[in-house]
Amino acid sequence: MQSADGKFYKTDVADTEQLFRLIQSIPSPKAEPFKLWLAKIASERLDEMQDPELTIDRALEQYLQLGYSENWINQRLKRRLRNRTLLQLSTTSKTGICLIYSPST
């Protein structure tokens, strides 16, 4: 891997899953808070898989914490839904014709 000074150094790398597995294998009391956090996040994601509405609630909370207005958040979610609908319509068309979704105003 190339460093800031332009030299190449041997570097160990890992993807996210490998890092989490590595952290889980550390038998140190200092790693316990991080392990507990990982377990909490994993549990939340499993809950969201069972009830996708929880994902929307989490997104709303995070946008509010970032300082976005409720109006902006509402427009963002509607835009995402519209784009997803367009994508689904265009990819599921068996005739090869791209269907256009036009919301009523």
Q: Alpha-carbon distance 75 to 71, whole Å?
A: 6
Per-residue confidence (pLDDT) for residue 23, from 0 to 100: 84
Q: Alpha-carbon distance 99 to 105, whole Å?
A: 19
Per-residue confidence (pLDDT) for residue 89, from 0 to 100: 67
Each domain of the chain, given as residue ranges in start order, spans 17-85
Q: Kindly list the averaged pLDDT for each block of 10 residues, start to end, along the chain of length 105.
A: 85 83 87 89 90 88 93 88 74 54 50
> From the CB of residue 80, how many other CB atoms can be counted at a distance below 10 Å?
11
Q: Alpha-carbon distance 44 to 52, whole Å?
A: 11
Per-residue confidence (pLDDT) for residue 105, from 0 to 100: 45
